[in-house]
Structure 1
Amino acid sequence: MKLQTLKHKKWKFSPIPNIEESSFNKTLERFHAMGVNGLTRENIQNSLDGRMLNNNGPVILKIETGSINERDIPGIEEVKERIMDLEGRNNYTNETISHMKNKLGQDEVRYISFEDINTRGLTGARNGQSGSKKDTWGIYAYNKGVHFEEDSQEVEISRGGSHGVGKIASNAASDLHVMYFANCDENGEQHLGGTVQLIEHVYNGQAFRSTGYFTDIEVYDDNSSKFYPYENNFHEVFQKDSRGLKIIIPYFRKEYDDEKAIIKSICDSFFIAILKNELEVHVNEEEVKKDTILNYVKDQDYYNQDITEAKKEFTPLYLDTYLEAPSREIIVSNGEEDFQFQLYFKYNEEIPKGRVAIVRTIGMKIEDFKVTGNATKPFNAVLIGGSKEDAYLKSLENESHTKLSKDHFSDTQLKRLATRFINNLSKEIRKVIEEAIKQHNPTDGLMDTKDILYVVETQLKKDLENSMGTVKINNGKSIVKSTGKQSKKERRNKRGGRKSEAKNEKNSPQRKRDPLKWQKSNKEMDNTQEEGKKLYSAHPEMVERVIISDKEMIKFDFTKSDQLGGEKVCDISLSIIDGMGVEYTDEFKIQNNYQEILDVNAAKRCAYKKNVIQGVQIKDGVAQLQLKLRKTFNRSLKFIYYVEV
């Protein structure tokens, strides 16, 4: 097909001698797998990159979803004709082509558009396919894998884009892999372009490349050609009459068409830019900006507000950490250079998964970073660097800007440095985590274990006696296990005969240790002990204590004690014991550590005074308490419990 014939077509595909590649662009598949998150992320990042350099106001992005009549989509009939001629040569390609063909022939087509304000838009549209780095229209419209570079090194470093493949995210969001972009430049000139991603195909007997461009073409006498954009006189959905860029994606995928998911994606990736008033996003009638972002992040309809369930979505935690936690400086080296970051860090034992939001200075989160060996530690953090740090993070990003990686480096030394940096990043944050754990869970040191050892030793003796016989010497030569039975003579010789044995048994009965020990009155206890009541300390064997989430369960088993008799009610007091076994009777205050105390047997709340829980019901020799913890409660505390009746 001659170039002169192509000139009359709205969509231009480059002719090739024959088909060599029969698959769709692999990047389409990667962005398709990322869903609406990849789509919104890429287009918002592009808008932030195009911000007006001398404007202090936020970049405003308007996202709109709706329906348009298929006949109002520019040049769509040509795209449909080519899709009908596509031939797949593997299962994946056949499936994709079949899906595309099934979407043809709709009267009304769903679309999404991204229109930015307070941005520069694209320059040099009238120059078309110029090849100049200053003509951003030519780079954006006609070059794959290339991104425009700013004259200012500082501005270029801060930009989100670097791989030049993000544009295809919009194609991936369309069932037909088609997208359009409307531009209004600083002179008010308005143009419309577009791309479609197919496979290499034969059309009217001629083979063509996979990518088509919605563009005009100028053909010269030597049969060479050059692309030029169309002036924008198309349907209002494709209009852009204020400076900036507008992306329009028709045949919007059904699985992407979710307003709530779009809003969550905005909050997840750009919460820092929004909080710093550098970005404002309108999604249909909803507005996500500095003054409203908390309305969405703190809304149960958008995010689960239960901290204990924060296992995949961490945005509510990140916002709290960034807004409330103090920052500290950490230095991370790649072996050749040191990089300084500000780390906003919060430790909370209710958090089930520890993650670090790594954020570029543009305000875009790269990833929920897992600190090696600490993915299940109870913390949350936000990491932000300066210009130098931003440049290095940018070099480490994968092509979808969602992860720090070494894999895209070809140079062995750069890959080694990247690996060292990522490992050292984990190492430095791990130090902060370990420090926080020590502060919130101080080492107990030594404990008074006399009672524990007594119980263990006594039980061990009983177990040994039951399981094996007496060990004795056989003729002074070897050790053998006896049957455990003694002859009458042996017993008589050992215990002085039957009478002596009976007398000893009568006069020396086996003592049974009561798990409740009576306490003498003392000045420290007198402050809480009521007159006429007896106070007992509870042996550890009778107390079962467990902490689950924000609740503590304590069970007191008095069935092995003779001290309480038929008592039905008791008071229980708590006293802290430190790692050295030293007791502090008046340092623990119930009201500072527990929100409420429930008597499980009575199914009602308990009253308390200072460190004494009053009126606890005893049922079948057992008392049970359920205590709701305050956030300030130190879970590592050890207690001695006193029972008062």
Structure 2
Amino acid sequence: MKEIFAFIGTEHTQSHSFNQSLEYFRDIIGDNSTKKFTSESTIREVVQNSLDAQLDMTKPVEVIISSTSVQKKDLPGIESVFEHIKSLNPGNNYTLEITDHMKKLEKLSTIDVLTLEDRNTTGLSTSKTTDVLTPYEIYAYNTGIHGASTNVSEQSRGGSHGVGKIAINSASDIHLMYFANHDENGVENLGGSVELFDHKYNNKSYRGTGFLIENTSLKDRIPLINKDFHEIFHKSTRGLKIIIPYIRFTSDPIDIVKSIINNFFIAILKEKLIAQVIFDKQKYIINKDTIKNLVNDEKIYPTDDEDELKIEFTPRYLQAYTEYDAQPIKVELPAKYNESYNFDLYFMAHDKEINSGRTAIFRSIGMKIEDHKVPGKVRAPYTAVIIGGPNEDEYLKTLENKSHTEISAKSLRDKESQNKAIKFINGIEKEIRKVIDENLSVYDQPQGKLNTDELFYKANLDFSRVIKSSTQTIEIGGDNIKINKRVKKESRSERKTSGEKASTPESKRKRKPRKLKTTSESSKGIFVMQPESIKRAVAGTYEMLEINFLDIDEFNKIDSVDISLKVIDGDGKEYDDELNLIKCYEEISDYKSGDIYKFDEDKIYDVKIYNKKINLIFKFTNNGNRSLKYIYKVGINNDIY
């Protein structure tokens, strides 16, 4: 029987653009217009899933990555893929550009292919004993489902188990991938998927995902027996082999070598992972014995390129992890959570000439989650690596984004869970800052001061006027904050006879916020708020801020923003380095909801807008400066830099 890619039928087409997750990973990989691509997101997903499926825990997982080419006719079901691609009807110009590029590729006869094969892994079991989906069925025919694992160490693993498979599709110019599986019974199967969007083909409507099957009904879901196909589809040992045709990213093996080392160097040093990268006559073996030489190789990690130094932290991470002893740190959450988390911190201080401080956060399996910027210490001369155990892994996983490259509270919807996550992240940062301060006491010494006498005098006058004339003032009594309404003194224009409309002087008309230019075409922008939209009041250890968007059309449908604060003097000149919110404020919360917001040196994140207003309560630290004047920049779509 002839193999084809089958799509699930539907009564009506609804979506005429690609899956959002697919778009997300496409953006990470690169842009066809610039021809700048990276393998990192694809390599992370594949290697992570291989580590998740480790068979013999006493031996490392092996991953072999190879580049080759095949004839188009050797790709199973490829004709059916292009038949569906040609029937796509894009809903916007961006999608049209991608589909037009896909259609042009049908003319190619020789196709570039990347293969990623693992060994010492379980593979995907095809044994069917109950009505529960087998691991093979989950991976082959489903998205968004996490297969249950019987492995007790599952909580310490990355484990997208098919959810991250779309990252592999995104690495292909036509969103096509195959996988060859060799299971525990020696059975070899071949599967595959292609990610398009809803479309009509031969007068029938179909969903966007196609699955490789024999020319039978998709309902039967009978795994395709892997025989008589081109040798690149063969899998002789137990495990999984990914085959990506029409590969998008660079054929430079160094990019792939760096992707592996950057994200898995601890797994390699712990002998949990060995990797081979084979491109034509070039072959790189990455293991605990070769990794240091590879990191010291100028061709892989140049040291004479300033731009490269700003990006590549791996050589410094490796040095910190291998040459410095672990320091235990403990993150204790507030009593109501009754939880604490323990990490090992590998800390290295270095010369002040290298002024980019980063902390690599790792899972215990040896995979990096992110290069974390500790607020207030981004320019400190240090490098650190932090790694926890299974308990810490389990909680970190709930905070990761879909590509496992960042931890934040944004992905959590429950407010209490968000507040807990903010406390957790702030707790990690607080402990790391302690270690930084202990080791870099010289770094925090004053390097010169701004003369702020005039600024303080004018700011105090402004604060007094706000407190006296504002319609809302704050009273601090015990632990309570009370808002008193104050009747505003009637102006002369308001005392005119009834029915006579007072004229509004030109200088008193409400001004629109000034929009700054941004580098992204999709961005909605950054707005500098006008003084008449801002109300501030300070009383005791608290400050209250109100930002009013009532007459600003750009914020009609916006429910949250980021707020950046910059110190200004009496002439309106900005001073970038004069404010550190972390040193000035102990906590920033929402007056309406009580939510606690995450903030760093000069930015408050994901602030909610209620009835076109923002009302924040700032709690000063003991050393918090109450006499600074600010300019407020409000960013939509995280556009504040």
2:127 is aligned with 1:132:
no
The answer to which of 347-356 and 242-251 deviates more is 347-356
What is the CA-CA distance between 1:307 and the residue it aligns to? 10
- In the TM superposition, what is the alpha-carbon distance from 1:24 to its structure 2 partner? 0.5
Q: Do the aligned partners of residues 96 and 269 (structure 1) sit closer, same or farther apart at CA in structure 2, a change above 3 Å counting? A: same
Distance in 1 (alpha carbons) for counterparts of 2:252 and 2:326: 36
Say if 1:230 and 1:377 are closer, same or farther in 2 by CA, change over 3 A.
same
Corresponding position of 1:261: 255
Matched residue SS, 2:264: helix
Tell me which of 95, 101, 104 is aligned to 1:102. Answer: 104
Structure 1 residue 118 and structure 2 residue 116: aligned?
no
CA distance in 1, matches of 2:437, 2:305: 21
C-alpha distance in 2, partners of 1:141/1:443?
59
Deviation, structure 1 residue 159:
1.4
User: Which residue of 354, 358, 374 maps to 2:357?
Assistant: 354
> TM-score, normalised to structure 1's length?
0.64
Match of 1:45 among 43, 48, 71: 48
Map Cα deviations across residues 54-112 of structure 1 (whole Å, 9 max, x no partner). Answer: 44111000001111000000010110111111111211111110110111121110000
What SS does structure 2 have at the residue aligned with 1:303?
coil
Identity %: 44
Determine helix, strand or coil for the equivalent of 2:394: helix
- 1:28-43 equivalent positions in 2, closer than 5 A: 28-35=22-29, 36-43=39-46
CA–CA separation in structure 1 for the residues paired with 2:58 and 2:418: 38
- Cα deviation, 1:268-290, whole Å, max 9, x if unaligned, reads 00000011111011000211111
Q: Which structure 1 residue ranges, 5 or more long, are not aligned?
A: 1-6, 445-645
Question: Aligned match of 2:290 in 282, 289, 292?
Answer: 292
Aligned with residue 186 of structure 2, among 176, 185, 188: 188
Match of 1:626 in 2: none
Q: Is the alpha carbon distance of 1:436 and 1:124 closer, same or farther for their aligned partners in structure 2, counting shifts above 3 Å?
A: same
What are the equivalent positions in structure 2 for 1:324-343 lying under 5 Å apart?
324-335=323-334, 336=337, 337-343=339-345
Aligned match for 1:171, one of 169, 181, 190? 169
Task: Kindly indicate whether residue 81 of structure 2 is the aligned counterpart of residue 87 of structure 1.
Answer: no
Partner of 2:62: 60
Once the two structures are superposed, the pairs formed by residues 605-624 of structure 1 within 5 Å of their partners are: none
Give yes or no for contact 2:156–2:389 (8 Å, CA) kept in 1. no
Moved more, 24-33 or 189-198: 24-33
8 Å Cα contact 2:320-2:383 kept in structure 1: yes
Does residue 1:245 correspond to 2:243, yes or no? no
Runs of 4+ in structure 1 deviating by more than 4 angstroms, as ranges, are 306-309, 440-444
Q: Using the alignment, how far apart are the partners of 2:69 and 2:161 within structure 1?
A: 32
Instruction: Name the CA distance, whole Å, in 2 between partners of 1:301 and 1:332.
Output: 40
Asked if 2 retains the 8 angstrom alpha-carbon contact of 1:299 and 1:305, the reply is no
Alignment of 1:558-573 (within 5 A): none
Determine the C-alpha separation between the residues in 1 that align with 2:3 and 2:70: 22
Taking a change above 3 Å as real, the CA distance of residues 163 and 239 of structure 1, as seen in their structure-2 partners, is: closer
The separation in 1 between residues aligned to 2:221 and 2:412, in whole angstroms, is 34
Shift of 1:410: 1.7
Tell whether the 8 Å contact from 2:3 to 2:212 is kept in structure 1 after alignment: no
Aligned-residue offset at 1:333: 2.9
* Structure-2 change in CA distance of 1:306 and 1:194 (3 Å): same
Counterpart AA for 2:373? K
* 1:468 aligned partner: none
The residue type paired with residue 293 of structure 1 is: I
Output the CA distance in 2 between the equivalents of 1:329 and 1:429. 11
For structure 2, list consecutive stretches of 5 or more residues without a partner in the other structure. 30-38, 447-641
Counterpart AA for 2:183: D
Q: Does 1:424 align with 2:420?
A: no
User: Which of 341-350 and 304-313 deviates more?
Assistant: 304-313
Cα distance, 1:393 vs structure 2: 1.0
RMSD after superposition: 2.1
Deviation string 1:319-346 (CA, Å, 9 cap, x unpaired) is: 0000001111111134321101000000
Q: How does 1:545-564 map to 2 (within 5 A)?
A: none
Deviation of 1:125 (Å): 5.8
How many angstroms apart in 2 are the aligned matches of 1:75 and 1:137?
20
Alignment length (residue pairs): 427
Structure 1 residues 441-590: aligned runs within 5 Å: none
Deviations 1:161-199 (CA, angstroms, capped at 9, x unpaired): 248521011100101100000000111110000000011
Q: Distance in 1 between matches of 2:25 and 2:444?
A: 47
How far apart, in 1, do the equivalents of 2:175 and 2:199 lie? 15
AA aligned opposite 2:244: I
**The one of 229, 235, 251 aligned to 2:230:** 235
Offset of 1:257 from its aligned partner? 2.5
Distance 1:250 1:259 in 2: 17
C-alpha distance in 1 between matches for 2:96 and 2:181: 35
Aligned CA distance change for structure 1 residues 257 and 291 (closer, same or farther; 3 Å): same
